Amino acid sequence: MAAISVAILILAISRLKPGKSKGSTQETGELREMNDISCYQNRELSWLKFNERVLEEAEATQNPLCERLNFLSIFQSNLDEFFMVRVGSLHDRMLLKKEERENKTNMTAAEQITAILAQVHLLNGRKDEAYEKLMKSVADEGLRLLKFDSLNEEEEETLKKYFAKEIQPLLSTMVVGRKQPFPFLKNEEIYAVAVIGTKKEKEKIAIISCDGGVFDRLIAIPSRPGCFMLVEEMILHFLPRVFKKYVIEEKCLIRITRNADIDEHQVFDEELNYRDHMAEVIRRRRRLCPVRLEISYELNRPITAQLFHELGLRDEQVFVTEAPMDLSFLYQLQDQLRQKPQLFYEKRVPQHSGMVRYDSRIIPQVMDHDILLSYPYESITPFLRMLNEASVDGSVISIKMTLYRLARNSKVVEALVAAAENGKQVDVLVELKARFDEENNIEWSRRLEDAGCHVIYGLDGLKVHSKLCLITCREEGQIEYITQIGTGNYNEKTARLYTDLSLITANEEIGKEAAEVFQALFMGETVDRMEHLLVAPKCLQNRVLDMIDEEIQEKKNGGDAYIGVKINSLTDKQIIDKLIEASEAGVTVDMIVRGINCVQSGITGKTDNIHVVSIVGRFLEHSRIYIFGRGEQEKIYISSADFMTRNTLRRVEVAVPILDAAIRNRLRAMFDTMLRDNVQARDQMPDGSYRRRMAAEGEEKLNSQEYFFRCAYETVRNENATQREITEEIL
């Protein structure tokens, strides 16, 4: 991966204008600019490094086999979305001939696409190799994917009959000719393509969909238990039976990835209500231009040229792949192996939180003390119980929430519906612009409205990404608030898969500020200033910059200055520049950045005080923690916001200060534990690559995710033991 940094350096050097004498003012300035570029990583290339780390987990033999299959499928689905969104956006800018350069490595859209495609071609080869090795291991467990050259005549005859009865009647054939235009090919759908011809007619292209949800993907081979064939392989093999009047000259499988980065504001129709408008955005997205073509075999040049012309693609956008183009069937293979627990991670179940008594109501406990839930180590149940309690509690006046991504069968929505039906005022902001969750959110918004909830759909020009819930109560004439602020979505499914944090507090000042945030949102506005909360887009980035400045000043004054950040991504150049300034001043900066990271650590005199760690493991690291200072000066926040410009300036995000001493100590210990992970952590190297951290000889291995689960289980065991002792005393 160091090649990426070298590529960026070459691009920077190539921009130095010739003809200037050595040491001239202009050349010195340009060299300084090039040196500054060395402190940054390109956003898109950094994301590819992250997805490479996912691929490494598929390659890692220490992981159980079925989990490696899972990582390989995630690698592919990640890459699909990357092409649809990020490459799609760059493609639009390139077509519009926008020559502006991105603000970190000074690359144009065209230069970024060139670098991306070159790197993806390398990763694609590794993916194919990993798939081949994994399928050999799957075969050792008694499951095989077969091709026709491994079948005997009887088996082929059986599949021929199956094809004729179950598949051929459902096929939709498309032949491209003078009177038959090139068909629209759906995004991410697999097609069989054949070059067909007769003695009287010149070659034509024939296309058949292998997808569409009408076929089973895995076809069992009746005579061989545990053996299967992919439906696209069967369709491709029997194409001569479909085109009986033609000779099949060549054939292959293809799959197209289309741009999905549509600007919902540019296609806004004032005559549509906003929910109908977002439904129209979804429909339009499915027809945007292709940005990638995957192909199983290379066709002859004239036919390939015709495909390129029809799809508007260039050579470098075409990827010949040996592995299947859609790896989602790997989950079906996993299901076939469920009876072999050794092929999976050891089962882990979210535990009861040690901060919650499960034998009594949650709301009175929150009124007594702050509660922090840490997913997936602890269960989301206390939060769901609190919502359900609020739906029937006579003292509760209203419930307000921001909803971004929800589970398919959302218990959160069920609680809100129950509250509205019980006469509570329920105000909900449902973000319909949550990419690829728009349809799910549209349906939930309809259900909430039908139940009598007051629903709005976000703000003009801003996504509402905050995880904010406010329960307002009236007790003995006094208004009281319960505020929940989290780092992750109100989604029961991802609460078992993502690491996230959820603070529930009855702090009056935080409750009042949360009420101000909701008041602004429901007026279509955002807050300008907060005393305690950090709220993007107007008072989060500036406050973060101020706190970094405070640490710089603390270091200049001889103090123990420190910055610790755990986020998913770092792209905000203002924050990056301020972190570089802090490093130059001698401030220690520890960063746990799972995905995109646009700062280059370890550059002498610049970023040598910045240490970047990425943890990619069983659970997706999703929590955000900000730490500024040490000792009595220390400030700790949890937040929904990454340090990305889209989060800090183009979304509504909320970060909350942790005021409870016990919770502060717990978060600091969690952060320090993740920094010491020597199993799933990778350190960023000065050349931009990431190196997996290995336990030294004699050093105890520390997998931070497994450690936190052990702690959660230990807490429950201790509580159970204490409860038994109390019961025995009573008896």
CB 578, CB 571: distance < 8 Å: no
**CA distance linking residue 518 with residue 402, whole number of Å:** 9
Q: Which residues contact 534 (CB under 8 A, 6 or more apart)?
A: 540, 543, 544, 637, 639, 641, 653, 654, 655, 656
Residue appearing with tokens 């990020």? 86
- DSSP reduced 3-state for 96: coil
Q: Can you give the three-state secondary structure of 272-333, one letter per residue?
A: CCHHHHHHHHHHHHCCCCEEEEEECCCCCHHHHHHHHHHHCCCHHHEEECCCCCCHHHHHHH
Q: Which of 340, 378, 334 is nearest to 356 (CA)?
A: 378
Q: Which two tokens stand for residue 80?
A: 């699909």
Own/partner contacts of 703-708, CB < 8 Å, gap of 24 or more, are 703/617, 703/677, 703/679, 704/615, 704/673, 704/674, 704/676, 704/677, 704/679, 704/680, 705/499, 705/615, 705/617, 705/618, 705/619, 705/680, 706/618, 706/679, 707/673, 708/374, 708/377, 708/670, 708/673
Q: Which of 691, 700, 670 is nearest to 614 (CA)?
A: 691
Q: Which two tokens stand for residue 493?
A: 């499914």
**CA distance linking residue 634 with residue 91, whole number of Å:** 44
Q: Which two tokens stand for residue 76?
A: 């592919």
Neighbour order of strands in the sheet with 247-258: 173-176, 204-209, 190-197, 247-258, 290-295, 318-320
Q: Please pick, among 277, 465, 611, 622, the residue that the annotation labels catalytic.
A: 465
Task: Output the furthest CA–CA distance in the chain (Å, rounded).
Answer: 97
CB 406, CB 413: distance < 8 Å: yes
Q: Which two tokens stand for residue 232?
A: 């696209």
The burial class, CB within 10 Å (0-12 / 13-18 / 19+), for 21 is exposed
First to last CA, the chain: 66
- Tell me the residue type at 50: F
Annotation marks residue 465 as catalytic: yes
The residues assigned a catalytic role are 465
